Structure 1
Amino acid sequence: MSTAAHTGGEAVVETLAAAGVDTVFGIPGGHSLPIYAALHGHSQVRHVLGRHEQGLGYMADGYARASGRLAAVTTTSGPGVANIVAAMAQATTDNVPMVVVSSAPSAALIGRNRGGLHDLNNAIELARPACRYVAHADAVDEISPKLAELIRNLRCNRPGGAFLQVPTNILGATADTAICSSDGDRLAPDMGTVAAAAELLQTATRPLIIAGYGALLAGAGPAIQALAERLDAVAATTTLARGLLGAQSWVVFDDGATPSALTKIFAEADVTLAIGTMFRQEDTAGWQTTPAGRLIHIDIDAAEFDRTYPADVSIHADARLAVEAMVAALPVSTPGAEATWRQHAAGLQHERLEACRQHPAMQFTEALREIIPQDTIVFADRCNVGYWMYRGAAAYEPRTFNYPMGYGGLGSALPQAIGARLA
């Protein structure tokens, strides 16, 4: 790997460019000016200016949700970091890939509480609960490898917020450094566990597939549809993955406040295959809805296994690779599900939607859905109409319905929509 003289700011921008990042959202500050010197006139990376870091972070979040690409943000130290924490937390709880590069006071001032400009005693510890990955660079030649590793984790492991802190004197310094690649391999499944899962599915008479946001991120939609057809399975998505399997797919939703089809179908399915889902509170009536039959769980994050529901087979792997392997492991002809299984599930979902349609807000959301184009990207906020949109509004394509689930940040929809428009 060749090296060349780079400032710390150049190391940041060139590493992002090498990772295929073409848009950086940011607000400049005195401590982060070396990054802006590197961004100025860059042939591959454009800069989108914001007015407040929280809104800026939500713009980046919307950009990533709509495009499927990595969102990159730069902010200055102190209040810049504090302001963007809410957006980083939303990205982390909803598994949206976002990397934030922040300046910090000069290395000699960090943690000293001497009253320096934009001083914050420990920005890393402020960012840590809101992020999945954090790092600090103490030298110019540490910037590219640490930033590349953060990006690699977001792409090959479980995504979310990632945070890199670099002192301003390091950003402005010059040193010979290599620009590192963030390329990495997706995690392939263990074929023994795939075979065990395929054996369970092959004998299922009432199979249920639940595809979560992890399946959407992995691009597993076509493989899941092929598997569902092979098994005659009921195929459903979680709220965040809505549209992954087309508008007619079943949507798992059970907030405990609306009539639930999920409770019934979980109790009746003899094998449930959960793909890239953490079984969120708002999808499972506060975790009161439980699968009565056998459970197979695929996830890129092994920490999710048995966290909510114990699985009979756990497959630690990229969702697309795991489902493709499962399709290959099944015989071309399987006994298939009971003849009326899919029809029965569709009837339960129809009953639930009809009950929801008695509410005026649901009537409004369905009327809105009828007049906007099917490829419109919708961002719903935490509000009454938003609640009813995520209870039943149709999504015809992946990434066209977006909602702040886990962290539930208020006021995110407008800046997210602006970010999506820039994607």
Structure 2
Amino acid sequence: MKTLTGAQMMCEALLAEGVDVMFGYPGGAIMPFYHALPEYPQLRHILVRHEQAAGHAAEGYARTSGKVGVCVATSGPGATNLVTAIADAMMDSVPIVAITGQVVTSLIGKDGFQETDVTGITQPITKHNYLVTDVRDLPRVFKEAFHIARTGRPGPVLIDVAKDVQNARGMFEYPESVDLPGYKPNYEGNRRQIKEAANLLNQAKKPLIMAGHGILLGHASVELREFAEKTGIPVITTLLGISCIPEDHPLSLGMPGMHGWVHVNRAIQECDVLFTIGARFDDRVTGKLDTFARNAKIIHVDIDPAEVGKNVITAVPIVGDAKRVLENLTEIVNANEHSEWLNHIREIQATRSKRQRDPESGMFTPHHVYAEFTQIMQGEFRVCTDVGQHQMWAAQLIEYMKPHTHITSGGLGTMGFALPAAMGVQVACPNEEVWAIAGDGGFQMNLQELATVVQESLPLKICIINNGYLGMVRQWQELFHERRYSATPMWSPDFIKLADAYGIPGLRVERPEDVAEAIHQARATNGPFLIEFVVEREVNVYPMVAPGASISDMFEDPNEVEIEDVVAVK
């Protein structure tokens, strides 16, 4: 045991938890912590330009590294700027610990300068949060916070530390374990229910696996593939489950839901057993709930008992860790193959295949950009997307071959996510190629982080799909609101000049034939690079399920044509 200040205890606790990097922005109430940081050179601090970006960067780091991401902010506006990122982490089950400073204990509740009740604000969007008013509590609180963030269903935990607590001195001894009687996640899964699931799958004629984010969070990609190959069951992946199985695998079908593929949604509606693991039946997947998978008995595996049976009627509920449940299930399920069922789905896919627009039409569409990404990269890069049309095209059209190579904001749908999240991914994977893909709208929400990219020498590649609109909102206005384009046409700065102001080289591309060369030039640049693709303004994301409609009722782009000499996108 040794006598330390509260701020030093916080640093010691971070080291004890294996933290090596954090993303933050200093201010008055967190200043003692920043005063102590230089004494701990093992802790790398990355100075963002906005606290929301700190939270998203911590998310990107966590989702790629498998460790808990850490973000830091001061009280008041610093803490409230973290709220969006914390909510994003909560919706997508990302383990982060947010550390905020608070006014001195004598001013708490008295509306002191920059006081905000951040524990009250974040109570609904954290797994747990703490207000620390006694220096003796710091070691226990940090130990519990990291344990809660990384175990069970991962998620964000907030620690709010009063400024005088950071300055106070006390004896520091970091606990070896936690004592949380009300928090005991179940990892194994009930043996009887696992056996019931195996029996149901053995009898199924048209089974289907729906794999979600839980596969990636549970590091269960290998187990998923082994289970699918033993049983011969086709696999579909939710938006956040993308990359949990190689997309060129014979059993991989693609993404379901609002902007999923016709053959995938039809497979859901025709299957007799739907084995869903690590997914929560989000409305963007199910469409109209009472029409979803009407012919199927549903097996639902999730580590969070609150999700099982919440949205759909479940025949076999299994609460447990995806990796362990798959291991146990693979041991007892029969080896099988479902070639007739798989061929039936592939026949639907062949008539509803992914298509490119005719290059002779003169249109430069995002499809051309994503086709080149797939052809050039061959799955050897990581992608962080923002939210909107470009996000759906990236999910549909880029092929992902390795786990954790597709990072996006799913549940909250946070514009401004891509650039800071990609920074976190690049920090976690310094020797890998990382691309941030954003629309012209979302990019402008956190473009100030270009300064962070340069200051930290991150070799990040940035792709802007610029259609001059808030594209997804415009698409809905076109289809459902009589083409009344209210507040969606968007003026943007000269992104190439903007990048140059930050010292980042860039290119503007306005023709399909120039896409490949631009990507090659970006890849050959030793450092960050920005490409702006100025694409056709009114191109929609298809297929699409109308909001509130059944996933049986998809409509497709009437302007698409099948053409053999276009770059094929699987």
Normalised to the residue count of structure 1, the TM-score between the two structures is: 0.91
Partner of 2:514: none
Partner of 2:231: 231
Where do 5+ consecutive residues of structure 2 fail to align? 179-183, 429-570
1:155 equivalenced with 2:150 (yes/no):
yes
By how many angstroms is 1:286 displaced?
Answer: 5.4
Deviations 1:309-356 (A, max 9, x none): 11111111111011111112235xx4x244322222334345444257
- Alpha-carbon distance in 2 for matches of 1:10, 1:60: 22
Is 99-108 or 200-209 further displaced after alignment?
200-209
- Alpha-carbon distance in 1 for matches of 2:300, 2:356: 30
Q: Contact 2:242–2:395 (CA<8 Å) still a contact in 1?
A: no
Partner of 2:197: 197
Is 231-240 or 387-396 further displaced after alignment?
387-396
1:375 equivalenced with 2:380 (yes/no):
yes
SS at match of 1:171: helix
- Alpha-carbon distance in 2 for matches of 1:378, 1:93: 20
By how many angstroms is 1:98 displaced?
Answer: 1.0
1:61 equivalenced with 2:63 (yes/no):
no
Distance 1:404 1:251, change over 3 A: same
- Alpha-carbon distance in 1 for matches of 2:228, 2:74: 48
Q: Contact 2:267–2:345 (CA<8 Å) still a contact in 1?
A: yes
- Alpha-carbon distance in 1 for matches of 2:276, 2:221: 13
1:241 equivalenced with 2:244 (yes/no):
no
By how many angstroms is 1:182 displaced?
Answer: 6.5
AA aligned opposite 1:71? G
By how many angstroms is 1:43 displaced?
Answer: 4.4
Deviations 1:50-107 (A, max 9, x none): 1210122122222222222210111111111111111111111111111101110011
- Alpha-carbon distance in 2 for matches of 1:384, 1:345: 26
Identity of aligned residues (%): 29
- Alpha-carbon distance in 2 for matches of 1:8, 1:391: 49
SS at match of 1:63: helix
Q: Contact 2:58–2:421 (CA<8 Å) still a contact in 1?
A: yes
Deviations 1:96-155 (A, max 9, x none): 111101110011211122xx22122x2211122332321222211212222222211222
Partner of 2:113: 117
- Alpha-carbon distance in 1 for matches of 2:134, 2:401: 48
1:172 equivalenced with 2:167 (yes/no):
yes
Distance 1:181 1:24, change over 3 A: farther
List aligned pairs for 1:43-122, cutoff 5 A: 43-113=41-111, 116-120=112-116, 122=117
Partner of 1:392: 397
Partner of 1:263: 265
Please say which structure displays the higher CA radius of gyration.
Answer: 2
Partner of 2:285: 283
- Alpha-carbon distance in 1 for matches of 2:411, 2:115: 30
Q: Contact 1:228–1:235 (CA<8 Å) still a contact in 2?
A: yes
- Alpha-carbon distance in 2 for matches of 1:6, 1:123: 26
- Alpha-carbon distance in 1 for matches of 2:352, 2:170: 63
1:321 equivalenced with 2:324 (yes/no):
yes
Deviations 1:31-50 (A, max 9, x none): 21222233214243211111
Partner of 1:210: 210
Deviations 1:161-194 (A, max 9, x none): 2111111111111111321346898722221211
Is 306-315 or 377-386 further displaced after alignment?
377-386
SS at match of 1:410: coil
Is 293-302 or 351-360 further displaced after alignment?
351-360
Q: Contact 1:205–1:337 (CA<8 Å) still a contact in 2?
A: no
Q: Contact 1:206–1:337 (CA<8 Å) still a contact in 2?
A: no
Q: Contact 1:258–1:356 (CA<8 Å) still a contact in 2?
A: no
By how many angstroms is 1:277 displaced?
Answer: 0.3
Where do 5+ consecutive residues of structure 1 fail to align? none
AA aligned opposite 1:388? W
Q: Contact 1:31–1:168 (CA<8 Å) still a contact in 2?
A: yes
By how many angstroms is 1:371 displaced?
Answer: 2.3
The one of 25, 28, 33 aligned to 2:26: 28
Distance 1:7 1:187, change over 3 A: farther
- Alpha-carbon distance in 1 for matches of 2:175, 2:300: 34
SS at match of 1:354: coil
Distance 1:357 1:178, change over 3 A: farther
By how many angstroms is 1:241 displaced?
Answer: 1.6
By how many angstroms is 1:232 displaced?
Answer: 1.0
- Alpha-carbon distance in 1 for matches of 2:271, 2:64: 33
Q: Contact 2:134–2:165 (CA<8 Å) still a contact in 1?
A: yes
- Alpha-carbon distance in 1 for matches of 2:136, 2:322: 35
Q: Contact 2:37–2:43 (CA<8 Å) still a contact in 1?
A: yes
Deviations 1:216-241 (A, max 9, x none): 11011111111111211012221112
- Alpha-carbon distance in 1 for matches of 2:343, 2:144: 47
- Alpha-carbon distance in 2 for matches of 1:402, 1:348: 29
Is 28-37 or 320-329 further displaced after alignment?
28-37
AA aligned opposite 1:153? I
- Alpha-carbon distance in 1 for matches of 2:136, 2:205: 58
Partner of 2:339: 339
Q: Contact 1:275–1:298 (CA<8 Å) still a contact in 2?
A: yes
- Alpha-carbon distance in 1 for matches of 2:20, 2:77: 26
| RMSD, matched Cα | 2.2
By how many angstroms is 1:291 displaced?
Answer: 5.0
Partner of 2:556: none
SS at match of 1:295: strand
- Alpha-carbon distance in 1 for matches of 2:234, 2:13: 44
- Alpha-carbon distance in 1 for matches of 2:149, 2:231: 32
Partner of 1:9: 7
AA aligned opposite 2:257? D
- Alpha-carbon distance in 1 for matches of 2:24, 2:229: 45
Distance 1:419 1:298, change over 3 A: same
- Alpha-carbon distance in 2 for matches of 1:350, 1:400: 27
By how many angstroms is 1:5 displaced?
Answer: 2.1
